[in-house]
Amino acid sequence: MAEQLTKTFQGAAAEETTPQFDPQQYYSTMQQVMQNPQFMTMAERLGNALMQDPAMSTMLDSLANPQQKDQIEERMARIKEDPSLKPILEEIESGGPAAMMRYWNDKDVLQKLGEAMGLAVTGDAATSAGNSAADEEDEAGNEDESIVHHCASVGDVEGLKTALSSGADKDEEDSEGRTALHFACGYGEVI
């Protein structure tokens, strides 16, 4: 299936035009994807994780709220006219997901976008400190999480070294098959 979709859209990427594809083939492929229980399980987990994150939940609720539609449209129009953001947005529109990924971790761009959208973006230090303290409390309460997973997810290099030197298994998997490396990468604590 992935190969079919890749072939369908590959020609368009090279030409930098709108992809030409067979709608019937696309519909058929998407039906196959939606019938895949592994995909549906992953999509459900992603949806649940997004809704549990207060920031994402609030954002998704506001996007679904018809009363805020006008405000969002107004903010988007303002962003598109912002001289510091206009070239970035044009590049993202013309370059697609690849261009967007270039800015995904650019704190300055994300902060400008957040401010333009009216979101409280206070910078890396405040959000990291507040979130990591709450995350650590949540993780400490998770009895299924091993010390290796915990240390990796909070970026505790010394704790991880101690656990590994005491015989902890670096390849230990949690109930969902995730290793400590998965947690480190997932929480941005690549050690």
DSSP string, 35-66: H-HHHHHHHHHHHHHHHHSHHHHHHHHHHH-G
Whether the CB-CB separation of 109 and 89 falls below 8 Å is answered with no
147 and 158 part of one domain = yes
Is the pLDDT at 87 greater than 60? The verdict is: yes
> From the CA atom positions of the chain, what is the Rg in Å?
21
pLDDT at 143: 47
Would 49 be classed as within a structural domain? Answer: no
Show the domain range for 146.
Answer: 124-186
Q: What is the pLDDT of residue 101?
A: 76
**CA-wise closest residue to 165 among 150, 148, 153:** 148
Q: Mean of the per-residue pLDDT values for the chain?
A: 73
Mean pLDDT to the nearest integer, 41-68: 76
Instruction: Assign 141 a pLDDT band (cuts: 50, 70, 90).
Output: very low
Q: Is the pLDDT of residue 131 over 50?
A: no
What local confidence, expressed as pLDDT, does residue 129 receive? Answer: 38
My answer on whether 66 and 102 are in the same domain is yes
Do both 131 and 110 map to the same domain? Answer: no
Q: What is the CATH number of the domain that holds 128?
A: 1.25.40.20
pTM across the whole model: 0.33
Query: What pLDDT does 91 receive?
Result: 85
Q: Check: CB of residue 117 under 8 Å from CB of residue 79.
A: yes
- Residue 106 resides in a domain: yes
Tell me, yes or no, whether 62 and 102 share the same domain.
Answer: yes
In this structure, is residue 143 part of a structural domain?
yes
Bigger pLDDT: 19 vs 80? 80
Q: Which of 89, 90, 95 is nearest to 116 (CA)?
A: 89
Q: What is the pLDDT of residue 1?
A: 56
